[in-house]
Amino acid sequence: MGANGKIAKIGDAIFNMLSSNSDVVGEPGMDAAKIQPEPLLNQNDPSAAVTYQIDAITPVYVKTANGALLHGPPAYEIVDFTILIHNRDYENCCNLTEVVIDAIVQPKTSSTFGTGNSFKINGVSLESVSEDYNKQRKYYTKTLTFQARVL
């Protein structure tokens, strides 16, 4: 599978984790149609939206006991991705941020999360959170960065 195919499948998995979560789509002003890849935000002016982008895919290869690299596909990949929460109301932005984090971060009791699209997401961790205000478009943005292990 080429890099573009993998990126599309990872994007689909992020969309599915968010759009199938009733808490995320149940927030004020939200529905599944407002969960989109980041470039699409510029095409409309939502009162609330969740956008995402894939930042990096790093393959992890396995070595033998003597340190030789095994040939073949990587054992797993580390995927760095960003989810941005946009909302005109600060409190709603904060609330939507919390439910998005809960929808994405894997519970410790689950062995695999996001199974499908010919791969498994085996653990997602929240790496950072930042916030900003867009004066021109008049909305708040919370930027969440995540790292996932993809089998």
| Tens of pLDDT, residues 8-67 | 888 888 998 899 999 999 999 898 988 988 877 666 667 889 999 999 999 998 877 777
Identify the helix (H) or strand (E) that includes residue 15. Answer: helix 3-19
- Structure confidence at residue 107 (pLDDT): 60
Give the tens place of pLDDT for each residue, 84-136.
999 999 999 999 999 999 999 866 544 445 555 566 888 899 999 999 998 98
Question: What gap in Å lies between CA 145 and CA 80, rounded to an integer?
Answer: 7
Identify the helix (H) or strand (E) that includes residue 18. Answer: helix 3-19
- The model scores a pTM over 0.75: yes
In sequence order, which residues have a C-beta less than 8 Å from that of residue 90 and are 6 or more positions away? 140
DSSP for 19-34? HT-HHHHTSTT--GGG
Give the burial string for 35-56 (b: 16+ CB within 10 Å, else e).
Answer: bbeeeebeeeebebbbbbebee
- Structure confidence at residue 90 (pLDDT): 96
